[in-house]
Amino acid sequence: MKKPSCQKGFILDGFPRTVIQAEKLDAMLEKQGTKVDKVLNFEIADSILEERITGRWIHPASGRSYHTKFAPPKVPGKDDVTGEPLIQRKDDNAEVLKSRLEAFHKQTKPVIDYYTSKGITVNLHAEKSPKDVTSEIMKAVS
Interior angle at CA 87, CA 51 and CA 126, nearest 5: 30
The bridge status of strand 39-43 relative to strand 121-125 is parallel
Res. 74: pLDDT tops 90: yes
Taking only the tens place, the pLDDT of each residue in 97-142 is 899 899 888 988 999 999 999 999 999 999 998 899 999 999 999 8
Q: What is the average per-residue pLDDT within 38-42?
A: 95
* pTM score, whole prediction: 0.77
pLDDT of residue 20: 96
